[in-house]
Structure 1
Amino acid sequence: MSLLARFTSFISIFKIGIPILTIIMLTVSGFHPENYGHSLHEFMPYGSAPIFSATATAGIIFSFNAFQTVINMGSEIKDSKHNVMRGIMIALLISGAIYIVLQSVFITSMEPGFLHHYGWNGISFNSPFADLAILLGIHWLSVLLYMDAFVSPFGTGVSFAASTARALYAMESNQHIPSFIGKINHKYGIPRVALVVNALLSMLMVSIFRSWATLATVICTSTLIAYLTGPVTAISFRKMAPNFKRPIRLKHLNFMAPLSFVLASLAIYWAMWPTTVEVILVIAIGLPLYFYYEYRAGFVNTRKAFWSSLWLIVYLAFLSIASYGGSKEFNGMNWVHYPYDFIVIIVASLIFYTWGIRSHHVFADFYQAEKLNDSVTE
């Protein structure tokens, strides 16, 4: 873990330094605030809907996913009671500030004459900032940006390789994948086989989704579906174990949980038809493996698990139908016009959220967790 921490710290120099250098150089090359337009129509010529669709399809939400690493590695963090929350907030604030300023600089550094001739819709860059640097004559910066395009994701990839390996290890502990995948290397204390399996799955995903934009959209939507379970699980745990010791206690959870669920639901809808149903079908591919291991276990908890998760199964089906029949701005059949489709999603999400938090069941693992919690110090 110390090696991983040192490596990611080194990569962070590129992840933060290069964007800041880009901001400075593009600002020096030219500053044209008139590119924002002189009216709301010029500022948003295609309306407000593209703003929402871009968050899911242009990799914006995907860009903020790295905060999960702080949570997944929480047991390795010193003074996790305070540093986990600090790490999440610092990561989100720094990322948000850099992305907002970068986008602003991209807009204001574009030559007004070039923009007037082609329009924003006519500008198609394979690598936006590198191509803009070439357009402005800053060739050395474009080379640096192409190098950073490899180095920066590599740092994130290393962090996610560690956290996803732990996810596979946890799945093996729950007896839902082959036992050899969770085998721990005693010398280094890591699930080495899980790392190899993740590498193979990554290569498979890259070969299937050859376009980075498509792959980013699929990953983002899949992550958002996983986010649906977080708020429901958190509130369910509060109801099941109100007296558990919690070193990290979230404030205002009764408000934040439903809000998070609504926002995740909207973001899934913003991914647009047919991406929504395609991602849901990809997730469903894992069901045969799940039922196979439930069969090997004698279907001991299958009935309870089914009724506990029925809300999510029905909700995913609803989101697919809503995406298909939604407004044309999100590739739907326009049965429900924009922005009234948002109202439908918000109301439905609150209904399914209420169903979800009332569907929890206590399994045998809960009593083991209860004993383990007795040894926790707050």
Structure 2
Amino acid sequence: MLALGSLIGSGWLFGSWEAAAVAGPAAILSWVIGGLIIGIIAYNYIELGTMFPESGGMSKYAQYSHGSLVGFIASWANWISLVTLLPIEAVAAVASWPWQWASFTHGFLADGRITSQGLLVVFAFIIIFTLLNYWSVSLLTRFTSFISIFKIGVPLLTITLLALSSFHPGNYGHSLATFMPYGSAPIFAATSVSGIIFSFNAFQTVINMGSDVKKPQKNIGRGIAISLLISAVIYILLQSVFITTISPKLLAAHGWQGLNLNSPFADLAILLGIHWLSVLLYMDAFVSPFGTGVSFVASSGRALQAMVSNNHIPKFLGKLDEKYGTPRVAMVVNALLSMVMVSIFPSWGTLASVISTATLIAYLTGPITVISLRDMAPDFKRPVKSSLLRVMAPLSFVLTSLAAYWAKWPTTVEVIGVIFLGIPFYLFYEWRSGWASTLKQLKAAAWMLVYLLFLSLISLIGSSEFNGLNWIHYPLDFVVIIVGALGFYAWGINSHIFSKYFRRAARVNDKVKMPRQ
């Protein structure tokens, strides 16, 4: 329930509308592609998560195989994405309700952006998210279990009622040209810029809460697989219903890119005269993001706490409360930084793009690490040993690279720039340690540093469909990225090193209980 509660958040409220505006009816394919990409990425992490069932696992795996610098980059990128998730859910919860009695909400949003008045409400939500996690994981689990039932039920009710009330299959188009009115490239772009990758991202909540999961050797993989499958079905059905519910006359007047909706499904319910459903949907526009925001306070707190083990951020950030076992200091720091992020990026769409790209960059290390550990530690306990990993790992690396490129210039390079901003922290702590193993760490991380520069360059000179200079035309830009990704993948898996972090991984793995045959 924790994973599913995290997955069904603001993505279902805005993703269908945003994706249709980018790709038209072909947005249905964007959800399929996005779900497949995240599913393939998760395939790598199931083995890692069961090998190392520990708090904040996503922030530790890369350092086990490639040392402190790669581990720092991966954990920093993952942390940036998680910190940004808190304000995006708070932004989604600040709905502008259309009824006269709720006129006090009308000043919260202006042209899709949070106003100064709305910003204060967002700050209040972030504080509430944090307080609900402040005392214990058991409180969080009870809260999310209750709210997850509501979060799943309302989308299913919406799908059923809107499909029965208005069904125009002709909106899908009568030819390939009308099905893909903006071409094929936007189908791929929508996965990153419309919040689709972001909507599926929450599977890592199970990984980051690994030490709190009962029977992790079974339940980590099971929780990820079931939650991803259920959420994918719901998201795809919602996109289809959104496409077929809209009146053809409205579509002819405004086109897919001209639909101006405040809360997309609630506004459609109002147009169809289902007012009680619109009230319920506006309520859910508060409940779903609220539940996801609460879930991710725990995940982001664990991620920051886990970064302390890398020895390149202040140790007080990793302090656990003795009574409740929660990383309270990390939670407070994350809350404050979330407020800064939403002040800089005060819109749902912008925050979704930042989250997707930062997450994808963190995910680049997953397939490299899991294959490297197969070679470095063949005798480690593996409760789940994936038989297709030698194929799925490079495939995952390639698809993750493509999805990062699909975020478009300049988002891709801006997020990479934010990730490079963390390097001075790393160098400061290397200086304090007397540069003891800095050269060794740089050699192990060279593939990652150069690859981030490679992705930035291709984003700049890539096709105009992805806001590049069009020196490399579409779809040749995809070919360049695929070939480059395979080359850097080979470099990465041959750059692993044995370090104190590998020895730490061995100690964690020693405690793993193998399932009975």
Answering whether residue 198 of structure 2 is matched by residue 35 of structure 1, we say no
Per the alignment, residue 436 of structure 2 pairs with 300
1:177 to 1:280, Cα distance in 2 relative to 1, 3 A: same
Gaps of 5+ in 1: none
Answering whether residue 183 of structure 2 is matched by residue 47 of structure 1, we say yes
* Aligned-residue offset at 1:178: 1.2
* Aligned-residue offset at 1:75: 2.2
Task: Quote the Cα distance in structure 1 between the aligned partners of 2:511 and 2:153.
Answer: 43
**Worse-matched range after superposition: 310-319 or 72-81:** 72-81
Per the alignment, residue 427 of structure 2 pairs with 291
**Worse-matched range after superposition: 111-120 or 178-187:** 111-120
* Aligned-residue offset at 1:116: 2.2
1:64 counterpart SS class:
helix
**Out of 360, 375, 386, which is 1:239 matched to?**
375
Confirm or deny: 8 A CA contact 2:305 2:327 kept in the other structure.
yes
Gaps of 5+ in 2: 1-136
Task: Quote the Cα distance in structure 2 between the aligned partners of 1:328 and 1:174.
Answer: 40
Per the alignment, residue 221 of structure 1 pairs with 357
1:334 to 1:182, Cα distance in 2 relative to 1, 3 A: same
1:331 alignment partner AA: N
Per the alignment, residue 255 of structure 1 pairs with 391
User: After superposition, where does 1:57-76 map in structure 2 within 5 Å?
Assistant: 57-76=193-212
Answering whether residue 454 of structure 2 is matched by residue 313 of structure 1, we say no
* Aligned-residue offset at 1:191: 1.4
Answering whether residue 241 of structure 2 is matched by residue 105 of structure 1, we say yes
Confirm or deny: 8 A CA contact 2:217 2:513 kept in the other structure.
no
**Out of 245, 270, 294, which is 2:406 matched to?**
270
Identity of aligned residues (%): 67
Task: Quote the Cα distance in structure 2 between the aligned partners of 1:213 and 1:70.
Answer: 25
Q: TM-score, normalised by structure 2?
A: 0.71
Per the alignment, residue 326 of structure 1 pairs with 462
1:240 alignment partner AA: M
Per the alignment, residue 68 of structure 2 pairs with none
* Aligned-residue offset at 1:375: 4.1
Task: Quote the Cα distance in structure 2 between the aligned partners of 1:375 and 1:326.
Answer: 47
Give a deviation string over 1:76-112, Cα, whole Å, max 9, x none: 2222212111111111111110011111111111112
Per the alignment, residue 261 of structure 2 pairs with 125
Confirm or deny: 8 A CA contact 2:304 2:318 kept in the other structure.
yes
Per the alignment, residue 145 of structure 2 pairs with 9
**Out of 165, 175, 188, which is 2:324 matched to?**
188
Q: TM-score, normalised by structure 1?
A: 0.97
**Worse-matched range after superposition: 225-234 or 77-86:** 77-86
Task: Quote the Cα distance in structure 2 between the aligned partners of 1:368 and 1:59.
Answer: 36
User: After superposition, where does 1:63-102 map in structure 2 within 5 Å?
Assistant: 63-102=199-238
Task: Quote the Cα distance in structure 1 between the aligned partners of 2:351 and 2:189.
Answer: 16
Task: Quote the Cα distance in structure 1 between the aligned partners of 2:207 and 2:358.
Answer: 18
Task: Quote the Cα distance in structure 2 between the aligned partners of 1:367 and 1:274.
Answer: 40
* Aligned-residue offset at 1:303: 1.4
Task: Quote the Cα distance in structure 2 between the aligned partners of 1:207 and 1:181.
Answer: 23
Moved over 4 A (4+): none
2:364 counterpart SS class:
helix
Between the two proteins, the alignment pairs up a number of residues equal to 378
Per the alignment, residue 171 of structure 1 pairs with 307
* Aligned-residue offset at 1:376: 3.2
Task: Quote the Cα distance in structure 1 between the aligned partners of 2:340 and 2:497.
Answer: 36
1:184 alignment partner AA: L
Task: Quote the Cα distance in structure 2 between the aligned partners of 1:63 and 1:15.
Answer: 14
* Aligned-residue offset at 1:71: 1.4
1:116 to 1:355, Cα distance in 2 relative to 1, 3 A: same
Answering whether residue 505 of structure 2 is matched by residue 369 of structure 1, we say yes
Task: Quote the Cα distance in structure 1 between the aligned partners of 2:228 and 2:341.
Answer: 27
Question: RCO greater where, 1 or 2, for CA within 8 Å and sep 6 or more?
Answer: 2
